[in-house]
Amino acid sequence: MTGHGRPEGRFVGKVMVVTGAAQGIGRTVALGAAREGASLVLVDRAEIVHEVRAELEGLGAQALAVTTDLENYSGADSAMAQALDRFGRIDILVNNVGGTIWAKPYAEYREPEIEAEVRRSLFPTLWCCRAVLPAMLKQGGGVIVNVSSVATRGVNRVPYAAATGGVNALTASLAFEYAEHGIRVVGEPNSVLKSYRSRPTTSARSVPARLTAVGPSRDPGRGPGPGRPARVIRPRRGARPRPRCAIPPARSPRTCAP
Ligand SMILES: NC(=O)c1ccc[n+]([C@@H]2O[C@H](COP(=O)([O-])OP(=O)(O)OC[C@H]3O[C@@H](n4cnc5c(N)ncnc54)[C@H](O)[C@@H]3O)[C@@H](O)[C@H]2O)c1
């Protein structure tokens, strides 16, 4: 903020929608963008998203909180409609909802678990991209940032890998399809995490690390945690530690995670 209470930064005059904004990376992105002048639409199915709205308003930002389930198209459509109703445009959409629910060998996943993983980590992004496009086309441009994961290649999270691989595929395809309309579509595999882990949490510019500043995810569907379905696979005593990824993630361009 400037000394006169006016925001300054890269997002002055921009409207940004952040999904999964109640906590973790989404909340962190929203706070950072608000500090740089953005007006925010915070979308989450958790009611605590209203606490984040109050936090942003405390910083002097304009903010709207929308509680909806983005695993359904109607939820995504309603979120974009409410954003347009309040601010008249959407310059940036950050699709951040997702996250592994269970971690175990693929042979042990049951059908509903596989479906739940794909619903959690692919559909919210797929739906929100579709729901925002008419507005971006009408206004002549926009930016879509899809948060993915380096876990597209790894062990014990095959359905999540499939879902985030799907996010990478739709990101690249949308980027090709809408470039000529001034719509930029980019993917974010993990550099958000790298940047916030590498900065001291006391710095005003820093993004507070979820593990130290926010604690474990408060999304009841995310494991591991007490009463949650996730199962942590630990190596047997004396066994050599297994590599986290069967295939090391490639150093990929920003538009598409490995
Ligand atoms: N945390 C990590 O280490 C990590 C690593 C790589 C990628 N990612 C990706 O980053 C993104 C955010 O991760 P995080 O750790 O901050 O997650 P988180 O669990 O802390 O927050 C996710 C938020 O999304 C919301 N949400 C979940 N399902 C929803 C739905 N159907 N509709 C609306 N809101 C919903 C939750 O309520 C929660 O507030 C995810 O896409 C994840 O796959 C995270």
pLDDT recorded at residue 7: 53
Structure tokens at 186: 């980019």
**Residues having CB within 6 Å of any atom of ligand 1:** 20, 22-26, 44-46, 69-71, 96-99, 120-121, 124, 147, 149, 190, 193, 217, 219, 222
249 domain residue, yes or no: no
Residue 160 is among the residues annotated as catalytic for this protein: yes
The DSSP output letter for 241 is P
Confidence of residue 29 (pLDDT cuts 50, 70, 90): very high
Distance CA 77, CA 79 (A): 5
pLDDT recorded at residue 188: 77
60 domain residue, yes or no: yes
Q: Convert the pLDDT of each residue in 30-55 to its tens digit.
A: 999 999 999 999 999 999 999 999 99
Q: Convert the pLDDT of each residue in 84-117 to its tens digit.
A: 999 999 999 999 999 999 999 999 999 999 999 9
pLDDT recorded at residue 189: 73
134 domain residue, yes or no: yes
In this structure, what are the phi and psi dihedrals at residue 144, rounded to the nearest 5 degrees?
-120, 125
98 domain residue, yes or no: yes
Give Cβ neighbours of residue 76 (< 8 Å, ≥ 6 apart). Answer: 68, 70, 124, 127, 128, 130, 131
240 domain residue, yes or no: no
CB 183 within 8 A of CB 141: yes
* Residue-range definition of the domain harbouring residue 56: 15-214
pLDDT recorded at residue 36: 96
Distance CA 109, CA 154 (A): 16
156 domain residue, yes or no: yes
Q: What is the CA(80)–ligand 1 centre distance, in A?
A: 19
CATH code (residue 20): 3.40.50.720
pLDDT recorded at residue 97: 98
pLDDT reading at 28 higher than 90: yes
CA atoms within 13 A on the CB side of 54: 5
204 domain residue, yes or no: yes
257 domain residue, yes or no: no
CB 79 within 8 A of CB 68: yes
Q: Convert the pLDDT of each residue in 128-163 to its tens digit.
A: 999 999 999 999 999 999 999 988 888 999 999 999
pLDDT recorded at residue 154: 83
Q: Convert the pLDDT of each residue in 188-244 to its tens digit.
A: 775 444 444 333 333 323 223 232 222 346 565 555 433 334 333 344 455 444 433
The DSSP output letter for 106 is G
Q: Domains in the chain: how many in total?
A: 1
pLDDT recorded at residue 95: 98
Closest atom of ligand 1 to 98 CA is: 41
pLDDT reading at 250 higher than 80: no
Q: Convert the pLDDT of each residue in 171-182 to its tens digit.
A: 999 999 999 999
